[in-house]
Amino acid sequence: MDVFAHALWTNAVFYKKYRAEKLQRYIAMAFGVLPDLVVFTPAFLYGIFSGSHFSEGSFNSALWVFRYAAWGYNYTHSLVIFAAAMIIVIFIRKGKQYWPMWGWALHILIDIPSHKGFYETPFLFPLSGYKFDHGVSWGHPLFMLINYSALALVYLVWFLVLRKKTA
């Protein structure tokens, strides 16, 4: 899924819990987009500054930015790595989990069925190389239409419900 949609879905999921604590909701949204930003920002910047056009083929390039993206994607899109990071955070926080971090897990769960044929999500890495390949590509126009329509519906309902509660 695209980064913007990840941010919107993470905001939607965390809105009720952190309605009054906007900073925590924004941190959750950051966790919701960081898995992609961490691995794809160097390739994106390379494309901008080199004047290259992105395609699926460019991500198979031997350039370090694309090798880094492929390597890093395994780590940032793994529920196993997420669980290990969450356990470390819980240990550091003396038994308390940090809820905004679940934006990262949400990102992975959304990507599992929405990455078909290109950067399929290695959600069990490093325990397994399995990738769910029966989903649909997030870049397919019909998927984009449904996804953003669902987001618009969620935000519209919230707007109408919250407007009634404040009136």
CA distance 79 to 123: 5
56-99 pLDDT per residue, tens: 556 667 889 989 999 999 999 999 999 999 999 999 999 999 99
Sign of CA pseudo-dihedral 104, 106, 107, 113? positive
Instruction: Compute how many other C-beta atoms are within 10 angstroms of the C-beta atom of residue 69.
Output: 23
Q: What is the mean pLDDT of residues 41-48?
A: 89
Residue 55 pLDDT exceeds 70: no
Compare 101 and 133 and report the one with higher pLDDT: 101
| Residue boundaries of the structural domains of the chain | 3-166
What pLDDT score does 51 carry? 78
Q: What pLDDT sits at residue 62?
A: 81
Determine if the pTM surpasses 0.85. yes
Mean pLDDT, range 102-129, rounded to an integer: 95
Conformation bin of residue 136: beta by default, left when phi > 0, alpha when psi is -120 to 50 = beta
